[in-house]
A and B are shown apart, each in its own frame.
Chain A
Amino acid sequence: MTKILIVAEHLDGKLNSATARCVACAQAIAGAEIHVAVLADAPDAVAAQAAQLAGVAKVLSVANPANAHPIAQVLAPQVAKLAAGYTHVFGPSTTFGKDLMPCVAALLGVAQVSDVMAVDGAYAFKRPIYAGNAIVDVTAPEGQTVVATVRTASWPAVGTGGSAAVEAASVDAALPTHTRFVGLQQGKSDRPDLQSAPKVVSGGRAVGSAEGFKVIYSLADKLGAAVGASRAAVDAGYVPNELQVGQTGKIIAPELYIAVGISGAIQHLTGIKDAGTIVAINKDPEAPIFEIADFGLVGDLFTLLPDLEAAL
């Protein structure tokens, strides 16, 4: 029988939507019983949120002061212990899951399937390689636990309405103290979250400065959109790193993506391939971004953006 354990991602007492996307992926495996593990110092609130996810049969809640911050080498031995009795252990392919899940796989002595984008069977998956320029079928050996990260942009978040039982689990695992959390500098913003927002406006190198990004923020606010950026814009210090979209930034799938002054390098396009509608604004009619844009507009962003905002 297929039993899947999903490691919940959460911050400040809130369950991250990536967890609900992992549930959707797990549901693609026929007949799977789906459990969610919440590891935290005080897991109750997050466990209650996880229990409401549609399709979740049980929530395991692991309270431990050592789990106050998601330190992979602290969480991994606990998840590996919990994994006993499960055929699959899933985490999201966010920085949280990418950090943690390979440790779980190593403790279990199994390979990890990274970035599951489609399920062909309990042991058969599709995943992207070469910045998404090829999709490969991979098969994990049966009779071993399957450890995988779920490419969140490929899966919708399941809804709520579930009422899973929450069970306090105690895990007997030696936890290392060699790694200590010092701090988290969060980009505080009341704008929508880049990874789950239905609309995103991104700026590239052409925006020219942090000051210049005001036109991007302003359009985003008008649309109720999240703000993203190319690597060039982040490297240049116009915006913080957590706004980077692409192969090595965030892979997103909004309904509407507006790329402003972004050329369309393959590493950037990898991050937006699953977007519903892509709009590109670029002064170079030959820019590669236009090859994949649903709507392209050639011109100077500094004149077009204020016009666009006014026309909305």
Chain B
Amino acid sequence: MKILVGYKRVVDYNVRIQVKPDGSGVVTDGVKLSPNPFDDIALEEALRLRDKGIATEVVVATIAPADAQPHLRNGLAMGANRAIHVVADGPVQPLTAARALLKLVEKEQPQLVLLGKQAIDDDANQTGQMLATLWGRPQATFASKLEVAGDKATVTREVDAGLETLEVDLPAVVTTDLRLNEPRFIKLPDIMKAKSKPLETIPFADLAVESGDHLTTGRHAPPPKRSKGVMVKDVAELVSALRAKGLV
């Protein structure tokens, strides 16, 4: 069984994002970029399925500008067999990403597609659902447990009410939540090995994806700031402050 993993490069989750003074976007120059944390979890899950002998091949895919090659090498160093780099000039919106991933799905015929539940830059939380819909296949979003047996997968999902379990026929799209696993660390020799693993580049235009992005983004603004309040010296002072506000 082949697994396709969506592997997006985003601003590292530790970076405190700044909005550009002219509101045209956020500052990304010189900012650390990393794999989307949910995509690292997706890749880890795929590798574990390969370790168990359930999967035979793990392919990481990204739609990103040309300078994203080291990012894909990172996925190969973590253990993916192959990488596909769809080279696009700028960022693509989720519907376009889903349409592009569908083209890769048609080409690669994976039994399982693992994506993150959300990319922590746009926080859209859409691509997996859109891909499953366009593909006409099942989706199980926000997975915290995944079991594959034969042509079915059983997925536990983190939903607002608790934990929901679904059974889906394969092929299917599964999106990962934080508690699915803890991604492994990359070892130095694997970085060397990754250099010789296959990395295919496809110009975005070659995929003939239906045209463009749909939402126009305008001004960016910093969020309203909460001002620092007061430090109280003890419980009594806290309680009287809360009483004064009618909160207790």
- A residues sitting closer than 8 Å to B (CB atoms) are 11, 71-73, 76, 94-96, 98-103, 105-107, 110-115, 128-141, 144, 176, 178-187, 195, 199, 223, 231, 234-235, 240-242, 247-248, 250, 255-256, 266-267, 273, 276-279, 285, 290-298, 304, 307-308, 311-312
Contact = CB atoms under 8 A, between A and B. Distances in A.
Nearest to B182: A235
17 contacts: A113-B215, A114-B125, A133-B222, A136-B220, A141-B216, A176-B136, A179-B166, A183-B164, A184-B161, A184-B164, A223-B248, A242-B162, A291-B228, A295-B232, A295-B238, A296-B231, A308-B235
Nearest to A285: B231
Given A137-B218, A241-B179, A278-B226, A131 B123 contact: yes
Contact of A111 (B154, B214, B241): B214
Interface stretch (B53-61, B79-87, B138-146, B198-206): B138-146
Contacts of B231: 285, 290, 295-298
Which of B161, B166, B216, B230: most chain A Cβ within 10 A? B161
> Secondary structure of the B side of the interface?
mixed
A95 B238 contact: no
Contacts of A234: 179
Nearest to A120: B218
Given A137-B219, A179-B168, A295-B231, 12 more contacts: A106-B130, A106-B134, A130-B17, A135-B221, A136-B221, A184-B165, A186-B161, A187-B162, A247-B123, A248-B177, A296-B229, A297-B234
A181 B166 contact: yes
A181 B168 CA distance: 9
B11 interface: yes
Interface residues of B, number: 79
A178 B168 contact: yes
Contact of B123 (A114, A187, A307): A114
Contacts of A71: 166
Contacts of B90: none
B130 A103 contact: yes
Interface string B150-187: 00001001111111111111001000011100000000
A144 to B, nearest CB: 8
A128 B123 contact: yes
A266 to B, nearest CB: 7
Which of B93, B95, B121, B164: most chain A Cβ within 10 A? B164
